[in-house]
Amino acid sequence: MNKHGKKIIAPVIVVLCIFAYYGIIGVFLITADLPNIIKILALIASIVITVLLIIVLIERIKEIRGGEEDDLSNY
């Protein structure tokens, strides 16, 4: 594993856990006896949050590979 590999593992694990959480919520919402509009809105919210998490993860990986392991040093 290269120099930055170990620092990338934690953000990836966190995003995978949150992704699994929203996946479980999505399955629950599809199978639950709720009005369709609530199902659709909740699924859209889950999808948007998941996409945003993936975008943030990609940006974080770029920061780590670029040498910015510590964001607090900017402040």
Establish how many alpha carbons lie within 13 A of residue 69's alpha carbon, considering only the half-sphere containing its beta carbon: 9
Look at residue 75 and tell me if it is in a domain. no
Query: Per the domain annotation, does 74 fall within a domain?
Result: no
Asked whether residue 39 is assigned to any structural domain, the reply reads yes
Total domain count, the chain: 1
Read off the pLDDT of residues 35-58 as tens digits, 9 standing for 90 and up: 989 888 888 888 888 899 899 999
- The answer to the question of residue 52 being in a domain is yes
> 22 in helix, strand or coil?
helix
* Domain coverage including residue 53: 5-65
Query: Is there a domain that residue 71 lies in?
Result: no
pTM for the model stands at 0.72
Domain assignment present for residue 11? The answer is yes
The answer to whether residue 49 sits within a structural domain is yes
| Tens digit of each residue's pLDDT (9 = 90 or more) over 19-40 | 888 888 878 888 888 898 988 8
DSSP at 31: H
Could you tell me the CA-to-CA distances from 22 to 15, 37, 42, 69 in Å, in that order?
11, 18, 10, 27
Does residue 33 lie within any of the structural domains?
Answer: yes
